[in-house]
Amino acid sequence: MEFQTFGQPEELLLMRQTCRDFVDDVIHPFVRGNPEREWLFDPDKRFPLELLEAADKVGLRTIGVPEKFGGVMLDPEHEAQTLAIISEEMGRGDSGFADKLAQNWKISRLLRLTVPDHLQEKWFPRLVEDPSFLLAHALTEPRGASDRWLPYNAPSANMDTRAILENGQWVLNGRKHFISNGFDAKLFVVYANTNPEVGILDGSSSFLVPRDTPGLTVARCNETMGGRYMNNGEIVFDDCMLPEDHLLIRDTALQKKTDTYSNPGRIIQAAKNLGVGVAAFDDTAAYVQEYVQGGRPLIQHQAVAVRLADMAIKLESVRCFLRQTAQALDAGVAEAGQMITMLKVHASEEVLKVCQQAMELHGGAGTMLEMGIEKHFRDAAMFPHMDGTVDISSFKIIKSMFPCTAGTYAGPETDLKS
Ligand SMILES: Cc1cc2nc3c(=O)[nH]c(=O)nc-3n(C[C@H](O)[C@H](O)[C@H](O)COP(=O)(O)OP(=O)(O)OC[C@H]3O[C@@H](n4cnc5c(N)ncnc54)[C@H](O)[C@@H]3O)c2cc1C
């Protein structure tokens, strides 16, 4: 599917072409040539190190790392727009692998903004030197996910993961699950409660936690239906001892997460998801022009052409919305946050429908693993639940549109009474 490029700066067009070539030359041959690889149930064997090394060689693993450490910094005026372009192209290649890289981009940016200089000097060079070095961002807990996205700002809805300062060391206890790159990461940003007397917005802190910290265990790799190369993981902290200076933001970490992580992160997610839809469209467009039923290629049956047009319209609407929203974020427009939340909902719903249409237009062949069409559908089905569910995001949209009438959350009943 061709893209509208008018009005885009030359650098963005070049970036798109570079990423597109990488996907066509490296990702697609690997993913299509090894369809069984994503199904390996040993996450270490599934981990596509060869792809990571290839991405590293072209600078796609270290985006967001300051140049003085050997990373790749994007022009701040076009940062979100550039990330959108890169993510769309990488999502067109493989959603799970795109997630792997995207975590590094998002978290490198977060580290740049929140980690003290001496720890940046320690960790960024390690990240740059080691092509297998991945980052993870651990917020979600078994009891507490949507509550964090709304958020319920009441003490009884606080995080279960606690951090206590004892004898000059932070001691972390708790469990984080559903964490992207969680199984493979060498460095984590972890959120924990540091003040149980107040709500989550005022009593949650963020920490830099190296994987080899005593008391940290990577408990499992979650076997997901889509995005399988991402190796989503679960992390347990059992008297995990951290030096005092590994505290990043004390008490107000969740308040600052939107700017430091979530807003660019959700642009990346929407764009990556768009890429999945584009791949489904491209495969379907090729198929209906080749495959014959009723004595003619499928595309010459008008009902098929109409379905294909519907797919194209949906993707174009996501792309236009994405571009507008990324521009708004780069320009620092006040409404950018709300646009991003709307984009998340729109992109996850429309791309999933596109992938469903792709399945339908392939008929029974669409359900066969060897065709690769069901993979797009599985990958697209992950997105509605990432970075806040569709319903929670929709709730947030209405809350910000009608703060007086829809803006007050009940919270747990005990807090309601106070
Ligand atoms: C592939 C993947 C990658 C992820 N990566 C990360 C990561 O890197 N780091 C991280 O910290 N987290 C990560 N997550 C977690 C993700 O952010 C959560 O899954 C998401 O916030 C939803 O939480 P939950 O799945 O626990 O759903 P729940 O919060 O348990 O919600 C279940 C259902 O109840 C609904 N619901 C919940 N509360 C309300 C309410 N108050 N009103 C109405 N409806 C409600 C939800 O909309 C949903 O339909 C990832 C998740 C996935 C699937």
Q: Report the pLDDT value the prediction gives residue 391, as an integer from 0 to 100.
A: 93
Residue 389 in contact with ligand 1 by CB distance below 6 A: yes
The atom number, within ligand 1, closest to the CA of 181 reads 8
User: In testing the pocket of ligand 1, which one of 110, 237, 389, 393 has its CB within 8 Å of the most ligand atoms?
Assistant: 389
For the segment(s) 257-406, the CATH number from 3.30.300.20, 3.10.20.90, 1.10.1060.10, 1.20.140.10 is 1.20.140.10
- pLDDT per residue as tens digits for the range 293-346: 999 999 999 999 999 999 999 999 999 999 999 999 999 999 999 999 999 999
Residue nearest to atom 23 of ligand 1 (CA): 145
Ligand 1: centre distance to CA 140 (Å) = 8
Ligand 1: centre distance to CA 188 (Å) = 19
Ligand 1: centre distance to CA 301 (Å) = 41
**Are the C-beta atoms of 235 and 218 separated by less than 8 Å?**
yes
Residue nearest to atom 32 of ligand 1 (CA): 146
Fold agreement between 135-254 and 257-406? no
Ligand 1: centre distance to CA 386 (Å) = 7
The atom number, within ligand 1, closest to the CA of 389 reads 47
Residue nearest to atom 31 of ligand 1 (CA): 146
121 CB-near residues (< 8 Å, 6+ apart): 69
Is the predicted pLDDT of residue 415 greater than 80, yes or no? no
Q: Report the pLDDT value the prediction gives residue 2, as an integer from 0 to 100.
A: 60
**Which has the minimum average pLDDT: 128-132, 141-145, 225-229, 260-264?**
141-145
Is the predicted pLDDT of residue 3 greater than 90, yes or no? no
pLDDT class for 416, splitting at 50, 70, 90? very low
Is the predicted pLDDT of residue 412 greater than 60, yes or no? no
The atom number, within ligand 1, closest to the CA of 148 reads 21
Question: What CA–CA distances, in Å, run from 335 to 78, 81, 318, 328, 408?
Answer: 17, 16, 18, 8, 20
* CATH code for the structural domain at 10-129: 1.10.540.10
Please give the Cα distance from 389 to 349 (Å, whole number): 11
Classify residue 138 by its DSSP letter. E
Residue 394 in contact with ligand 1 by CB distance below 6 A: no
User: In testing the pocket of ligand 1, which one of 143, 156, 178 has its CB within 8 Å of the most ligand atoms?
Assistant: 178
Residue 139 — φ and ψ, nearest 5°? -120, -50
- The average pLDDT across 59-66 equals 97
Question: What CA–CA distances, in Å, run from 140 to 191, 283, 348, 378?
Answer: 9, 35, 20, 22
Q: Report the pLDDT value the prediction gives residue 6, as an integer from 0 to 100.
A: 73
* CATH code for the structural domain at 135-254: 2.40.110.10
Is the predicted pLDDT of residue 399 greater than 90, yes or no? no
Could you state, in order of their start, the residue ranges of all structural domains in the chain? 10-129, 135-254, 257-406
Ligand 1: centre distance to CA 29 (Å) = 33
Ligand 1: centre distance to CA 149 (Å) = 8
- CA nearest to 376, candidates 290, 306, 285, 295: 285
Please state, rounded to an integer, the average pLDDT across all residues of the chain: 94
Percent of the chain with pLDDT over 70: 96
Q: Report the pLDDT value the prediction gives residue 413, as an integer from 0 to 100.
A: 43
Q: Report the pLDDT value the prediction gives residue 221, as an integer from 0 to 100.
A: 97
The helix/strand/coil state of 167 is coil
- The average pLDDT across 90-116 equals 97
Per the document, the length of the chain is 418
Angle between helices 95-114 and 117-129 (to 10 degrees): 150
Ligand 1: centre distance to CA 263 (Å) = 17
- pLDDT per residue as tens digits for the range 360-397: 999 999 999 989 999 999 999 999 999 999 999 998 99
**Are the C-beta atoms of 379 and 227 separated by less than 8 Å?**
yes
- pLDDT per residue as tens digits for the range 173-231: 999 999 999 999 999 999 999 999 999 999 999 999 999 999 999 999 999 999 999 99
Is the predicted pLDDT of residue 56 greater than 90, yes or no? yes
- pLDDT per residue as tens digits for the range 249-300: 999 999 999 999 999 999 999 999 999 999 999 999 999 999 999 999 999 9
Ligand 1: centre distance to CA 114 (Å) = 25
Q: How do 233-243 and 169-179 pair as beta strands?
A: antiparallel
Is the predicted pLDDT of residue 417 greater than 70, yes or no? no
Please give the Cα distance from 64 to 42 (Å, whole number): 30
Using a 10 angstrom Cβ sphere, with 0-12 exposed, 13-18 middle and 19 or more buried, the burial of residue 45 is: exposed
pLDDT class for 400, splitting at 50, 70, 90? confident
